[in-house]
């Protein structure tokens, strides 16, 4: 598909060629005005985090809207003179706490150190073994009874959209990206609309509910602790409120509660060797 004048060189049918454009988009949303170093060493224990008012972690977030959260991402937040590094804790634009993390490595927090973890449209950007390792680490840092809320594009919705003769889901998806000015209009072919969720944005693995339950189970979450939720509805309103509306049409929402002390305490995971980095950035 030829590029529009306002999007030179943009070709939706060339995922590899678009990867550089997606990186530019990520760089744009990772830009801020002010970066303040709060601590050269990231607080790690429950007591250290509580002392600065932190109760949970939001992954894949340059800024978090939760007043007691830390936002994290593999990509550094930056302004004209400074870029965040791995290790310290920062405050972004005098508001949100942020630390730079690589989720393909063990998380730098102590066991049972946080009450909640939130991750919106992150898990599809990592290989399946890395997802299991990351979720195992998430369970390790959650206190007993702590909550994980996980969201990702729902494969079932895309397959249903492919079979829908009215094309209603795909039309909404194309309209959403157009409103966000993410490239020129997408091709309207159903096969393209199904393929793009697998091959664009750095996606590595696409989930339905059963597949999400599978990786959560492998990470040690008990099957009875996992519940499907709706947009901005869940066990904790303050965590569910982190859901963003522009993704709600395509998203599946699952919550998992950490098990009380018992059978799987102290579970650890050896991350696989190789290229396990998070790829791309969700739009």
- CA geometry: angle at 12 spanning 23 and 280, to 5°? 25
Distances from the Cα of 244 to the Cαs of 37, 195, 235, 250, in angstroms? Answer: 28, 24, 17, 11
Would you list the DSSP string of 20-61? Answer: HHHHHHHHHHTB-S-EEEEESS---SHHHHHHTT--EEEES-
CATH number of the domain that residue 128 is part of: 3.40.50.150
What is d(CA 243, CA 72) in angstroms, rounded to the nearest whole number? Answer: 16
Residue at 40 is within a domain: yes
> Shortest CA distance to 128 belongs to which of 208, 229, 216, 204?
204
Tell me if 154 sits within 8 A of 207, measured CB to CB. Answer: yes
C-alpha pair distances (Å), 182 with each of 6, 95, 236, 271: 11, 27, 32, 34
Assess contact for 57 and 78: CB atoms under 8 A.
no
Can you give the residue range of the structural domain that contains 36? Answer: 23-153+206-257
Residue 278 has a pLDDT of 53
pLDDT per residue as tens digits for the range 50-78: 999 999 999 999 999 999 999 999 999 99
The phi and psi torsions of 61 (rounded to 5 degrees) equal -140, 115
In a domain? residue 67: yes
State whether residue 123 is helix, strand or coil: helix
pTM confidence score: 0.91
- The answer to whether residue 54 is domain-embedded is yes
Total tally of structural domains belonging to the chain: 1
| Residue 221 within any structural domain of the chain | yes
pLDDT tens by residue, 7-64 = 888 899 999 888 888 888 788 899 999 999 999 999 999 999 999 999 999 999 999 9
**What percentage of the chain's residues is helix, strand, coil (to nearest 5)?**
30, 20, 50
């Amino acid at each position: 598909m030829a590029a529009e004048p306002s999007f030179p060189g943009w070709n939706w049918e060339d995922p590899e060629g678009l990867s550089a454009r997606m990186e530019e988009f990520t760089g744009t949303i990772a830009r801020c005005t002010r970066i303040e170093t709060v601590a050269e060493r990231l607080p790690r224990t429950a007591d250290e985090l509580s002392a600065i008012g932190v109760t949970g972690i939001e992954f894949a977030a340059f800024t978090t809207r939760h007043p007691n959260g830390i936002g994290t991402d593999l990509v550094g937040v930056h302004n004209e003179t400074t870029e965040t590094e791995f290790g310290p804790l920062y405050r972004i634009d005098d508001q949100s706490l942020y630390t730079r993390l690589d989720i393909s490595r063990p998380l730098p927090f102590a066991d049972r150190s946080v009450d909640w973890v939130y991750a919106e449209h992150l898990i599809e950007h990592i290989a399946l073994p890395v997802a299991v390792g990351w979720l195992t680490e998430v369970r390790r840092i959650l206190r007993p009874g702590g909550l994980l809320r996980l969201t990702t594009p729902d494969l079932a919705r895309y397959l249903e959209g492919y079979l829908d003769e009215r094309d209603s889901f795909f039309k909404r998806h194309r309209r959403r990206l157009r409103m966000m000015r993410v490239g020129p209009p997408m091709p309207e072919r159903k096969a393209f609309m199904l393929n793009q969720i697998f091959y664009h944005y750095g996606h590595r693995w696409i989930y339905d509910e059963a597949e999400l339950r599978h990786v959560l189970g492998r990470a040690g979450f008990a099957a009875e602790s996992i519940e499907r939720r709706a947009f901005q509805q869940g066990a904790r309103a303050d965590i569910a409120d982190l859901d963003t509306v522009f993704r709600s049409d395509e998203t599946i929402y699952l919550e998992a509660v950490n098990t009380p002390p018992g059978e799987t305490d102290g579970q650890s995971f050896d991350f696989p060797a190789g290229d396990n980095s998070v790829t791309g950035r969700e739009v």
